[in-house]
Chain A
């Protein structure tokens, strides 16, 4: 096990709603990255947080936002959900080296 946990494991939301996904980093890891993996695709980088600041972002609209807390845990927030947001959301923690992935949250938007 990587020591990275995510909650919830599964979630069903309706189009237009908002969702918050949570990630607890491996102990001592100060960097968290979030990825979206649609069915049949590889994970796509959403953004990265380092010491509570967003320090990198992929090609995702502003309705995808995040937070990192002093204990380095993190949240991913998605507003105005769209059907195409249905995916596995993965967080990965690191400390300047290898990224360790959590088990993911599977989001279904209906």
Chain B
């Protein structure tokens, strides 16, 4: 089983649609959780952190369920500029260092 698994893509949606991405992680010792956005041939950039209480940033809402080891990202009112690959990321602390473990990513294509 992969450490971080995401919905296979791509997701093709029209502008204005609501889209949800799902992610599961296998290691219950994982400590912190993130969604990163990666544009084509660019580096990943932090979109938002994910907390158990849920958090919202404008049109983006992230949720974490530690019991189910499940993370989600909801994008409302999709814009053309939201087209990108969304990476689910888990941060684990090992002995003396922490590492980011990335999912494979889910591509989102927003069309006019």
Partner-B contacts on A (CB < 8 A): 2, 33, 35, 40-45, 48, 50, 55-56, 58, 88, 90, 92, 98-99, 101-104, 106
Contact = CB atoms under 8 A, between A and B. Distances in A.
Contacts of B44: 43, 90, 101
B100 interface: yes
B46 A98 contact: yes
A48 B99 contact: yes
B79 interface: no
Helix, strand, loop or mixed for chain B's interface? Answer: strand
A102 B42 CA distance: 9
Interface in B54-112: 87, 94, 96-97, 99-105
The range of chain B's interface size is 10 to 19
Contact of B100 (A45, A50, A103, A106): A45
Contacts of B97: 48, 50, 55-56
B87 A58 contact: no
